[in-house]
Structure 1
C-alpha cells in the first residue's frame, strides 16, 4: 500500500512539473521595476527548456540583452542572469496566466519586481 501511495505522489509531481514546464516555455511580455532606480521598464523574455528542470532565458530590455539560466519546480523558477558585467538573481512563480517575481543585482540590497505575460 505504501508503494502505491509513493507511486501516486510521484505521478502527481510529474504531471504538475510538466504543466508548469509547458506554461513556462515561450515568449512573454515583461514589465518590471529596476531595484536600483525604481524606474519602470518593459521588454520581452524568451524561455526555452534545456533539461529536465533547467531553462535558458533571454530578456530584451531596450537595447540590452540579458542571458539567464533557470531551475524550475512546480512552485517556481530560480534564475541567474548576465549582461556585460552585470549579474543578478531572480525568483518567479506562476500566478494564473502570468509569472511574477522579484530580482536583484549581484550584491544588491533592494529588489525589483517583474511580471511576464504570454504574448
Structure 2
C-alpha cells in the first residue's frame, strides 16, 4: 500500500509539473490567485499551473466511460439471478477505475501550489 502511494505521488509530480513555475521573485504569483492564498502571514513559494491538455481530457473521458461500464456491469450482476459470480471483481474494478479517474483529473486539471506560512510559536 505504501508503494502504491509513493508511486502515485511520483506520477502526480512528474505529470503535473510539466510547465514552469509562474511565481516571481518575492513570492508573488504573476497569475491571479484567490485572495486567501496570499496574506501578510502566507506567501506562495511555487505555483505551477494545470496542464489542461487534450490528452488529459481524453484520459479522463476514457476513464469515466470505464467507470460507467463497471458500474453497469456491477448493477446487472447484482440484479441478475446468480448474484455472486463476479460481484467482487466488478466492484474492485469500479473502485480502481474511480481512483484512476481522480488521479488523472488531479494530474491534468489541478494546479500545484506550495505555500509557506509564518507562525508564532
Higher strand fraction (1 or 2): 1
Of structures 1 and 2, the one with the larger relative CO (CA 8 A, separation 6+) is: 2
Query: TM-score range with shorter-chain normalisation?
Result: under 0.3
TM-score, scaled to structure 1: 0.22
Higher helix fraction (1 or 2): 2
TM-score, scaled to structure 2: 0.22
